[in-house]
Amino acid sequence: MGFPGTMVAPRSTMFFLWPEFVWLMLALPLLPVTYVLLLRRRRKAAVRYSNLAVVTAAAAGRNWRRHLPPALLMLAVAALLFAAARPVARIPLPWARTTVMLAMDVSLSMRVADVEPTRLVAAQEAAKLFLRDLPKDVEVGLVTFAGSTQVAQKATLDRASLVAAIDGFQMQTGTAVGNAIVMSLSELFPDHGIDVGDMTFGRGMRPSRGLDDKVKPPPKQITPVKPGSYNAAAIILLSDGRRTTGVDTLEAARMAADRGVRIYVVGLGTLDGAAAMPEGMSIYMKLDEPTLKEVARMTGGEYQSTKPWARACKCKRARRS
């Protein structure tokens, strides 16, 4: 999987710290006018001499070189006034930034052992292997989800913090796949006003003020773009995909597609699930591969089953032993 960054080069702007000196430059045209008046006065004084040599010398003074020093003086005065105004310009440099959000399932269904040793351990090993091979200049954030969704780690370049968060998972009941996608989008687009709680319970059921007693802005209206066209971010979803609560998975995928964010999905588990589960519970242990594939297709991402990821984890453990 490749995650290219995006180059940003905003326009530069210039302003003056002391703009009053700029207004003094309006007086600069008086300097050449004064100079011309002085030249005319000199010529009138020259014709009073009776000596022809003096008149000839005065006439010879019309050469353009004699005007060069006064012209340089005028330019110097203009430059001094401009410098005194203290021009300042903000010049943003082009930069490349890529952010990847890891959305990892920590629901109880992840303890099933149809993927050795369990779905959760396989997901943890795959995530750490992914972090090891990822370029160091790519920021990674971590979202965990079960019945509720949390940001376990804000986007960072600190791989050690991410690994510690991955190793510290605590399993919970429920599986809110859609909420994980929405939460990842809210981290990638903090100015869009995306709120998981509002989408889950309805905006009218929750207070319009946040914990900091500030009125929450309404969700930002966006113009949908081509799926997969936003190259500055991506979401990697590791789950068995069987949603039991929260935002509809495909609705959340549509939000990502409208923003051009690709979702790369890793399906954990098997289509049959765990055969030893009690009657009525086995359906929740089955890999919901059709939904996960549709999420990848809608957003322009890719879907992978557990097999290649588990194989990579086994190779990694073999190298350690």
What integer pLDDT is reported at residue 54 of this predicted model? 56
Residues 201 and 105 in one domain: yes
Q: Are residues 126 and 221 in the same domain?
A: yes
Q: Are residues 47 and 157 in the same domain?
A: no
Residue 52, exposed/middle/buried by CB under 10 A (0-12, 13-18, 19+)?
Answer: exposed
Residues 71 and 115 grouped into a single domain: no
Total domains present in the chain: 2
pLDDT at residue number 56 = 59
Q: Is residue 268 part of a domain?
A: yes
pLDDT, averaged per 10 consecutive residues of the chain (321 residues), comes to 44 76 83 80 57 56 70 86 84 70 92 84 92 92 95 95 94 93 95 85 53 62 93 93 90 96 91 53 71 96 72 44 41
Going across the sheet that includes 149-156, the strands are 149-156, 139-145, 99-105, 233-239, 262-267, 303-304
Q: What residues make up the domain containing 107?
A: 96-320
Which residue's structure tokens are 């310009």?
A: 89
Domain boundary among 85, 115, 132: 85
Looking at the structure, do residues 58 and 137 belong to the same domain, yes or no?
no
Q: Quick check: is 214 in a domain?
A: yes
pLDDT of residue 280: 46
Last residue of a domain, one of 32, 62, 85: 85
CATH number at residue 316: 3.40.50.410
Q: What are phi and psi of 205, to 5 degrees?
A: -90, -5
User: Which of 55, 85, 115 lies at the terminal end of a domain, its last residue?
Assistant: 85
State whether 268 and 211 are in the same domain. Answer: yes
What is the structure's pLDDT at 104? Answer: 96
